[in-house]
């Protein structure tokens, strides 16, 4: 399975229309308003257009000059998100990004994008014995420490509803062989760290010789986010947090079979776990997932006790490319929230290309089945409906 990617990627340049527009502006430091040279300014196509044809839309980019000015010519008329990025500055959010509508033959000259100087968070993820953990995922979170608005199985609390939550400010980073991580381009402010168990290989989260598994942990080493310790990040400075101790819990296994309405096994179905209380309109894309084999069978390992929903989503084949069929992993992976039609489940859209086949998994075509886990769950039976042809 390809790694999760929250940035849009593509393999073909969008065609430049004869009526393409002219877009220009400046990138400045947020406080001093000094020009930022060598920043990358990118026009991202709208997610709905990208999802329909990932190979037809590629982000358009330009680099700022010594005066912070950028120019993009021949821009096809579309709705875009325009953003600026540069190493050492906050990662393309807030005042560094904005929506932009480009009209045929139009001209936009007054765009101003502001970059904030950023800080860096470094540290190490270890187990309770102090042994470094490789491939753990670490993210920086912002917000008031309180019980999350959704129950998070294995977090050690009940998930009392509240408007206050912790939100990731950017994509996470995996630890290296020494358990070390570095989070760059973090805007100044107060943060909390969360470490997730190793995501590859599949048995990477299992504690050797035990029936325990690593679970999501907040710095410095707690499953309860209300006990997390806040970190202060200052622009231009490096914060070394030392060790983040990844906690463990009893682990279980869910096995089952996905079938169609006639009882036949369905292959290539994405099966994953989400919190049982997750709203259908915004089901999270978790790393706890598997794909069914030719007979529809699946296994989910390293599951901690909790109240879950199993979401089974059949594959919608968008295209086949025999030229790439010999490659083990090719193309792109993208992800967006929000179903658009037949909202039986709603939620996320996942597009991937592997072995020359581009598949899309849309939660709106899936089946959701609630499962309470306090021991192994065998022989789970999930029925899915046919996916409508686009």
| Rg, C-alpha atoms of the chain | 22
The whole-number pLDDT of residue 105 equals 86
Task: Let me know how long the chain is.
Answer: 390
Which among 207, 226, 250 is the end of a domain? 250
Domain count, the chain: 3
H/E element, 233: strand 231-233
The whole-number pLDDT of residue 370 equals 94
Assess whether 165 and 264 both reside in one domain.
no
82, β-bridge pairs: 43, 98
- Residues 123-142 have pLDDT tens digits of 999 999 999 999 999 999 98
CATH code of 285's domain: 2.60.40.10
Q: How far apart are CA 281 and CA 208, in angstroms?
A: 38
What are the tokens at 390?
Answer: 């686009």
Is position 10 within any domain? no
**For the sheet containing 69-75, what is the strand order?**
69-75, 21-29, 107-115
Assess whether 29 and 126 both reside in one domain.
no
Which structural domain, as residue segments, surrounds residue 303?
A: 252-383
Is position 319 within any domain? yes
Instruction: Point out the residues of the chain with pLDDT beneath 50.
Output: 1-18, 51-52, 145-164, 200-205, 207-210, 324-335, 337-344
- Location of structure tokens 């995501």: 199
Which among 66, 91, 115 is the end of a domain? 115
Q: How far apart are CA 385 and CA 378, in angstroms?
A: 22
Is position 15 within any domain? no
Which among 115, 138, 159 is the end of a domain? 115
Is position 9 within any domain? no
- Answer for the pair 84, 39: CB distance below 8 angstroms, yes or no: yes
The whole-number pLDDT of residue 60 equals 86
Assess whether 229 and 306 both reside in one domain.
no
Give the predicted TM-score (pTM) of the model: 0.59
Assess whether 221 and 270 both reside in one domain.
no
- Residues 364-386 have pLDDT tens digits of 889 999 999 999 999 999 999 98
Q: Which of 177, 187, 180, 204 is nearest to 140 (CA)?
A: 187
Is position 12 within any domain? no
Three-state secondary structure call for residue 50? helix
377, β-bridge pairs: 254
The whole-number pLDDT of residue 40 equals 95
């Amino acid at each position: 399975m390809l790694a999760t990617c929250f940035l849009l990627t593509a393999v073909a340049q969008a065609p430049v229309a004869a009526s393409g527009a002219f877009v220009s502006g400046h990138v400045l430091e947020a406080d001093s308003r000094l020009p930022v040279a060598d920043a990358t300014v990118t026009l991202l196509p709208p997610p709905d257009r990208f999802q329909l044809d990932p190979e037809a839309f590629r982000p358009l980019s330009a680099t700022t000059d010594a005066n912070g000015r950028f120019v993009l010519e021949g821009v096809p008329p579309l709705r875009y998100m325009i953003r600026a990025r540069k190493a050492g500055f906050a990662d393309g959010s807030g005042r560094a990004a904005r929506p932009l509508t480009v009209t045929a033959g139009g001209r936009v000259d007054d765009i101003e994008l502001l970059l904030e100087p950023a800080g860096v968070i470094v540290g190490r993820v270890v187990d309770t014995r102090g042994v470094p953990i490789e491939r753990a995922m670490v993210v920086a979170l912002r917000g008031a420490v309180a019980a999350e608005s959704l129950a998070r199985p294995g977090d050690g609390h009940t998930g009392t509803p509240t408007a206050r939550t912790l939100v990731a400010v950017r994509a996470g980073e995996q630890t290296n062989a020494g358990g070390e991580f570095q989070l760059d381009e973090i805007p100044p402010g107060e943060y909390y760290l969360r470490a997730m168990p190793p995501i590859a290989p599949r048995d990477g989260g299992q504690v050797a010789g035990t029936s325990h598994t690593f679970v999501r942990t907040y710095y410095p080493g707690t499953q309860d986010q209300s006990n997390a310790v806040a970190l202060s990040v200052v622009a231009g400075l490096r914060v070394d947090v030392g060790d983040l101790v990844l906690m463990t819990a009893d682990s279980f296994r869910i096995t089952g079979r996905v079938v169609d309405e006639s009882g036949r096994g369905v292959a290539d179905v994405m099966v994953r776990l989400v919190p049982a209380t997750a709203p259908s309109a915004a089901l999270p894309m978790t790393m706890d997932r598997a794909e069914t084999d030719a007979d529809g069978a699946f296994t989910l390992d390293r599951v901690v006790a909790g109240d879950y929903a199993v979401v089974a989503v059949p594959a919608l084949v968008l295209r086949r490319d025999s030229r790439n069929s010999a490659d083990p992993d090719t193309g792109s992976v993208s992800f967006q929230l929000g179903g658009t039609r037949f909202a039986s489940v709603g939620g996320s859209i996942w597009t991937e290309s592997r072995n020359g086949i581009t598949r899309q998994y849309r939660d709106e075509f899936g089946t959701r089945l609630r499962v309470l886990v306090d021991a192994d769950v065998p022989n789970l039976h999930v029925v899915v409906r046919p996916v409508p042809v686009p």
